[in-house]
Structure formats: structure tokens, C-alpha cells
Structure 1
Amino acid sequence: MSTMVRVTPADFAPPSAIDRMRMPALIVGVVCSILSILGAFLLGWETFLQTWLVGFMFWLGVTLGSLTLLMLQYTTGGNWGRLGRRFWEAASTTLPLMFLFWLPLVFGMSHLYPWVNESREYMSTLELRRAHLWLNPTSFVIRGIIYFILWGIWTWRLRRWSFVEEAGRSTPADFVGIQNFSGAGIVMYALTITFASVDWVMSLNPHWWSTVWGMLFMVGECLTAFAFTIWLLARLSPLEPLARIFKPDYFHDFGKLMFAFVILWAYLSFAQWLIIWSGNITEEIRWYLDRVHGHWKPVATALIFLHFVLPFAILLSRSLKRQPRKLVKIALWIMFIRLVDLYWLVQPSFHGPGKLAPISWQSVLMNIVNVLAMGGLWLAMFYWQVGRRSILPVYDPHFIEMLEAKHG
């Protein structure tokens, strides 16, 4: 039967809606970027940088989470992944933009990280003197550049192979090679995001540490990328050419995977809390005390119910996972609550001695503006990348199976 089906990349050209979505995203990004700069002058550079870090980690999560899902799909296969492959490729190629978004954190690190401003009090203990070998401005910048180079190498290599495949010049040996390369890339990602999350977020509290921290960010980024993919597919699946190939089973697959990552996030979050709380070590427990008292107590409570209990209960439904209009609402909610979680991880770090960090309207407003500024520019670049190529990998060895499954 497969010999009866012949397709080319032109048969699966991107929907025209992709081009129409690019300009509004760019306008939002430019306008909010201007507002962000004005806010930095009016509200202070510290407020700007603190909220910029939250937005940066969120959109970096979409970028690297997409790269990870792409490598996971190459490694494991599955029709669900072939539907998302072009979107993950496009998302991962926004990495140069994320590097530009990282630069304000580099130039403003003295406003964020207490270890930058060396003091006798900070260097008073042996542990912190040892930490200083890792946490100093020079090594911070060098490591950051290394992270982006490694992520860029895997992005470039996977993208290059994808163009070879689309030109019809790939061989079975090439596919085995890209599987192995992707498997190594997953290990690379696990290591680099662990170190990056320690450098960029955990070191906001240099006295505190957690062995679960890197895995928590890995899972959070993949969860964000899954939610973003579901939102995008829900918008585009009713349109040609995706409409001719889409089945409810595909949304069901994405829903199940998003459900699994919701559970994994909850497990890791609880494991981190249980280990630190039961240990009851002053340096470690202080981090949680800053986030479960004062204005932050309702936020911590909300994360338990709105990041885990609610999505868990809703995603138990098989029929809901097969209905794009309902599933996309859960995906959008998860993207929002992921942003709240990052805000809860970052913002309480900025407080005076013996004080709890407040939740100010200035901080919340700047966070919204910065997320929209980065998001608008990110989406504009993403839509541009998606619109350049076929929306599906038509020369994938198993692509014909998807057509046969739809029409058979």
C-alpha cells in the first residue's frame, strides 16, 4: 500500500496562518521591549534584572525543552514526535536570540548575585571560599558561553541533518547516526542544564544547595515545551495540510506525555522539600522558609494545587486528552503556572537581612512586560523558521505510515 502514496515537501507547505501570526508577535515584542526599557529607568535596574531572569528562564525552557523533545523523538521514534519535529527544530533555532537575552544578566550580574560583590562576611567560611572558585564573574561568563556553544552544536547538527533528509539525500546509516547523536545530546543537556540552573538561579542563594535542582529544571522545561507544542498544534491542526493527517490519537499521546511530566515535576518537587525539611539544616531550610511565609505562602499553596493536583485530576480523563479545544486550555494553564513557579523560585531570593521579599505590583508588572517582550520576539523568530520549510518531515522513513494510518 505504501507504494500508492507519494508525497513531497511541497504537499505539506506551512499554513498561511503562520505568516499572519508573525507580525503581531513582532509588534508585541517591540512594544513591550520599549516598555521594559522605560520600566528599567522608572522602577530601577534591579527590578528589571530580577524579572528579566524569570522571563529568560521561561523562554529558555521552551527553547531547550523543544531541543530535548526533538532529540528524544529521534532516539525513540513515534508518530506523535514526527508531528512536533518541525516545531521543535524551529524552537531550538531561536538559541541565538536567547543568547542575546542572556547578556543583560551578564552585564547586570552585580545587581543579582551576592557572590559578585566579594565581602569579608561572604568569604568568612571555608565552604564559601571553596564556592568562590566556582562562583566568580569570569568563570560564570565562560561557563555560560560553553553552555550556549554546546546547545548550539546539537541544534546546528540536527538542523543540518533535517535539511539533508528533506532534500531526499539521507540514508539508513544517517538515521542511525542521528539517533546516536541525539542520545548523546540528551546526556549533554542533562549535564549542562544542571550546571546552568545552578549558576543562573541557585546561586542567587549561595548558602543554599539542592541535589534535585537540575532535574527539576529539566522536567519543567520539557513540560513547558509539551504545553507549547499542544497549544500550537491545536491552532494549526484544523488547517491544511495538517488537517488531512491529524487524528485524536495524536493529541491523546501528547496529553499522556504532558500528564507524565506533571507527575514527575510533583515527585521531584516533593522529594526536594522532604529531603531538606527532614534534614532541618539552617542553611538549607531557610530557602523554604522564605517561600512559605508572608505573601509567598498562598503562592506556595497555589503551586501545589494548580501545578499538580488540578492538572493531574483533569488529565486523568481519556476523552479530554482527545479533544484539542479542552486539552489546549490545560496546556495554556500549565504554561502560565510554570511561569508562576519560576517567579516563586527566583523572586524571594531578593530580600534584606531577616526580611521576607515582598510581592510588589512593580515586580509583577515588570515580569509580565519582560515575558511579553521576550515572548513576542521569540515567537516572531519561531514563526519565521516554521514558515521556511514543510510542516512535516515527509522523507522520514516512517512518514508514509502516518498517511496510511489516516486514510487506511
Structure 2
Amino acid sequence: MKILIVGGGGREHALVWKIAQSPMVKKVFCAPGNPGIAEIAECVDIDAENIDGLYNFALKHKIDLTVVGPEDALIAGIVDRFREGHLQIFGSTKRASAIEGSKVFAKTLMRKHGIPTADFKVFEDIKQAKKHMTTCEFPLVIKADGLAKGKGVFICKTPEEANKHLDDIMRDKIFGHAGDRVVVEEFLSGEEVSILAITDGNTLLPLSSVQDHKAAYDGDKGPNTGGMGAYSPVPLITEQLQFSIEENILVPVIHAMKRENRPYTGVIYAGLIITSTGPKVLEFNARFGDPETQVLLMRMKSDLVPILLSAEKNTLENAGIEWNDGTSLCVVMASKGYPDLYEKGFPISGLETTRKLTHVQVFHAGTSMKDGKIVTNGGRVLGVTTLGKDLQEAQQAAYGAIEKLSFAGAHYRRDIGGKAMHRKN
């Protein structure tokens, strides 16, 4: 088989790494890819949102299966275009991807179909939003409606903070048209986890539990990011809790999408908070998470390709997943200043050394080649991912590998996996 992966970040590097191991696969392409991906696949200079270019490439090169990483391509309709041309592609359609593309749509869907989530109101007018907040209890949460690269959610502890973020989103348009509408919702207390599942629209194949670390700094301080690290599995998620999440959230949302004439295929990602009254949905995403994908694929013993094909061919009821024992953990090395302004172009050292480490994979998230050297080219630069017999071993291996890597201004959290460690102690 010939496989095309769409995207060029850490998630896509992990997908290429895993898919290239399949005995079913003869050749892997990645568009646009990155220097890390280029070591194991052929990178193609086509942007992830250039749907016509990607379609024509897949047609010309007789690609057997295309796997979509970024949400932008899904929301732009890449799956619809490929299926119209009878090309196999793994992902959600444009209409189905609205579950991530519009928080207003997702929240309204959950309210209509009884899927547990925070109470909320939607506003298109900033004055009405500010007036509403004079009646609210704090903290509260403000979310930009559209895509904001994981940065459009603000926990506001005071009315002053809330007004500032509303001004940023709706008046100053820091997220462009993604901020034309906002969701103002109640703040939920609890611990956050992610549960991803692969679906063909009828059958659901849940993946293992993951805990992401969204905040930029240790102790969950600082602004939200696209994710500073993750680990899997999550001790908090017992078999009983996993069953509850599947029965009350994952299965109902797939049925809800079907009833709304938006049949859902691909990956459904539920960002959850485990409250005192049970799991509730913070957000849905329409694709593999980042850095969740890195730790999940590090742990996955099964061949991923047959699973993706089963989802595409509507035969997922025959599929299953076997996991490696132990824990996988990923620590993101980011550029100084991320998620706000940061500089690019700094040489990265130590990559050759980390290649020799066992049970360690350094996935490239924001890198490029300059004068024959790999340099920083994004906010999140590397995802140092490990597999250990337990959380402590995986954590030690990740931070040990990080000591061998360096670039100017490198920033990373030093407490990835800490919540689970404290719970065990």
C-alpha cells in the first residue's frame, strides 16, 4: 500500500512513524511533512489546506489511503473531495467536523441530545456578553466559537479578566472571524482527561485514556497552549469510568451526529473533566490530538493501518486494539515565549544522541532545515516521547532525553505526569 499523511507537526510525525512499521505499507508520503518525518517518509511540498493539490497528488500517485492530521483540512472539506473522487481517506466530513469547527454547534448539540457539559450562553454582541457577565459567578469560561489552535479558551477569575478577554476576542479580533461569536459557560472543577475513539459512523473503537497538559507552565499556570505534554494511561480512569464515558458521551454523540444528518467517521476526541457528579465534556475535536497521538501510538502494539482501513470501509466491528503494558509519556519542548510571540531559526543539538536511546522517540513538531541543519520553526518544537514499565520510568526517560537536547530559549514543563504520581503517593 501507498499511504499519504496530511500535515507537518508532531502528531503527523507519530502517525508516519507508526504507519511506516506496518507490513501492509510499501511507501509513505507526507504533505508537507518536516525534517523528522523526512527521515522515514517522502515529504511532498503541498500545504495541508491545499485540497486540490493533495487530491491531484493522491490521484497521480495512486495513493491507497490518505490520513488527515490537522483540523483545518477537515473543516475545509478534504474528506468530501476525496470521497467524491472515490479515493479512500480517513477523517470526518466538512459537516461532521463542525463539532470542532464551531463550539456553538458542539454545545448546542450536547444540550439538545442530553450529553453532559457545562451550562452556557452564546453571544454575538459584546455589549450583551458583558451585561450577562454582571449576573455570573466567577470563575467562568469564555470560548471563541471557531478554530484558535487550542488558544481560544480563557478561564476568567474576575470580571476585569473576562472583559479584557471579550475585548481581545470580539473587538480586537485576535482570532479573526473565529471570535465573531463567543460561548460564556460555567467553570467546572475537576481533573481533565482525553478519550479518543475511532469510528466508522456505526461502531466505536475507543483508544486508551490520555491526560494532556494545556497550561504553559508548571502547576497548570499560565495561558493555554496546544498542549505541553501528555501521558497514557490515566490511573484516574477506571474501567467503570471508561464504560460510563463510552455509554454517556461517546456513543450518544455519534448517534446525535447521525440524527443531525452529519454522519461521523474518523477520530472523535472528547476533552473531558471528571467532576464530582461524573464526566462532562469540555470540547470535542474531530481529529487525532497533539500530543495525545504521540503517547497513544507509542503504546499501541497493534498495527494501526488495518484499523484505519476498517473505519473507512465500515467494518470496524471486526477490529480491536492491543496495547503495550506500561506507560507512555511525552514532554513538549517549546520556543521561548510560546504560546505568544517567539523567535524561530535556532539550531537544535542532540538529536543524533537521542536516536540511540531505547524506548525514546523524538517527534518533530515545529522544525525546518536551514543550511543543512535542523532548526526551530514553531511554538512547539519537539515532542520527547517515551515508553516505560510505569509512569515513573517513562517520566525519568523523557526528562533524561531532554537533557541531551538543546536549542536557544527552549522551554518545557517539568511536571508532566505529576498529577498521577501524586495520586499514587
TM bracket, shorter-chain basis? under 0.3
**Which of structures 1 and 2 has the larger relative contact order (alpha carbons within 8 angstroms, sep 6+)?**
1
Which of these two proteins has the greater Rg computed from alpha carbons? 1
Q: Which structure's residues are more often strand, by fraction?
A: 2
Q: Which has the higher helix share?
A: 1
Give the TM-score taking structure 2 as reference length. 0.25
